[in-house]
Amino acid sequence: MNNPIGNDPQRAWAFVAPEPLRGSANGPLAGLSFSIKDLYGVPGWPLSASTRAPVPGPSDSVLVRRLLELGATATGKTHLHEIAMGITGMNGYGGTTHPALPDHVPGGSSSGAAVSVALGQVDFALGTDTGGSIRVPAAWCGVVGFKPTKGDPDWSTEGVLPLSPTCDHTGPLAPDIKTIIRLQEALTGRSIKPQLWDGLRVGLWLPDGWTDDTVRQATLDFAADLKQRGAAVERVPFPEVMDAYSPIVMSEAAQIHREALKLDNPGFMPFTLASLRNAANLSGAEIGTAFRRREDYRALLDGLFMAYDLILAPAVPTPPPLLGQDEVKIGEGDVLLRRAVLRITAPFSLLGAPTVACPTSTPYVGVQLVAPHGADDRLLGLVLSLEQES
């Protein structure tokens, strides 16, 4: 590690192992250290999901075991937004703060993961992403985040406490795309090479009024760079998907935490508890409607990928908000922070498309690059060419 964890003023760490779990000395990931979001089951390590409420204990994580076999060394577990149901990093243990801006949020739910990478405490971090939980903290902390195609067996969710089995993904955060590619190559056995942008068709999804001027300009500047590399960039429409996303995720979360919800005061933060109790009352008809809408949105995304090779979109609506800030001011006015963030990121976890969150030239503002299902290696190769030539 480049930097000791020290006294952890950001409250990024849920558990620091007295002795790291050392990986195989001869593996392709030997020499790399990593942190683990406190949703993954790790033998002998506690699991709290950053809540005071009781949570189901998952089995041992298949992905953690595989990374250890490949040579990486696990140093501890990082905090998250309580049970992964949020985008700021607040939890029952005080919440995590930004690595460089102490009065600001780092993003969530993989908040501690992003902070541990941004501070150089580990070489990479394991996060999860249900609606943006890798991409949002990556964007706000200035690191790279990768959400693989949903169901990719090399990025197994087995042994990870779920929030929504329909939308949950595992994935890494790292200081650069080279490290993420090293993980992908080790896990898959496939080689990834830089890819040319010349001749690619890129759909720019930048809905009017959904960001502030800073994010809008950073996204347009990123698009201009892709054009200079030979890509054709055109604006594309895509609807807000929250009418499908929210009922699916919240109903599944209420089912996961059904035993805790039987208690009068299970220990969740008030917002989490109210959200779970409300979701437990959703009808089967409401949930069924949400799943049908999801299929409609999947057809729309598949249609876009018949016309475009990639989608470029902002990863966040504004730079990092202040701690405790509930609303953000964007082009269309004051909007609830949760909605402003999730409507940008949720489509690609709801629909399972591989996505990389990349930093931009504007500090703590990131963009998303989204590829068709299964095109993970090509996506990573394209981002690698950007990193090598920057």
Q: How many CB atoms lie within 10 A of CB 307?
A: 10
Tens digit of each residue's pLDDT, the chain (390 residues): 334 577 899 999 999 999 999 999 999 999 999 999 999 999 999 999 999 999 999 999 999 999 999 999 999 999 999 999 999 999 999 999 999 999 999 999 999 999 999 999 999 999 999 999 999 999 999 999 999 999 999 999 999 999 999 999 999 999 999 999 999 999 999 999 999 999 999 999 999 999 999 999 999 999 999 999 999 999 999 999 999 999 999 999 999 999 999 999 999 999 999 999 999 999 999 999 999 999 999 999 999 999 999 999 999 999 999 999 999 999 999 999 999 999 999 999 999 999 999 999 999 999 999 999 999 999 999 999 999 876
Report the half-sphere exposure of 268 (CA within 13 A, side-chain side): 26
Q: How many CB atoms lie within 10 A of CB 258?
A: 12
Gap between the Cα atoms of 381 and 178, Å rounded: 10
Per the structure block, which two tokens stand in for 45? Answer: 């390590």
Gap between the Cα atoms of 339 and 358, Å rounded: 21
Long-range contact set of residues 331-335: C-beta below 8 Å, sequence gap at least 24: 331/208, 331/209, 331/210, 331/211, 331/212, 331/213, 331/216, 332/208, 332/209, 332/210, 333/209
What is the model's pLDDT at position 4?
54
The residues that bridge with 172 in the sheet, in sequence order, are 126
Q: Are 167 and 134 in contact (CB under 8 A)?
A: no
Output the pTM of the full model.
0.97
Q: Are 64 and 40 in contact (CB under 8 A)?
A: yes
- Locate the domains of the chain by residue range: 13-188, 201-242+283-389
Q: Which residue has the tokens 């437990």?
A: 280
- Name residues whose C-beta falls within 8 Å of residue 335's C-beta, 6 or more positions apart in sequence: 317, 327, 328
Gap between the Cα atoms of 231 and 281, Å rounded: 48
| The CATH number of the domain covering residues in 13-188 | 3.90.1300.10
Question: What is the secondary structure of 234-277 as a DSSP string?
Answer: EE------HHHHHHHHHHHHHHHTHHHHTSSS-S--HHHHHHHH
Gap between the Cα atoms of 112 and 359, Å rounded: 18
What is the model's pLDDT at position 2?
38
Report the half-sphere exposure of 281 (CA within 13 A, side-chain side): 5
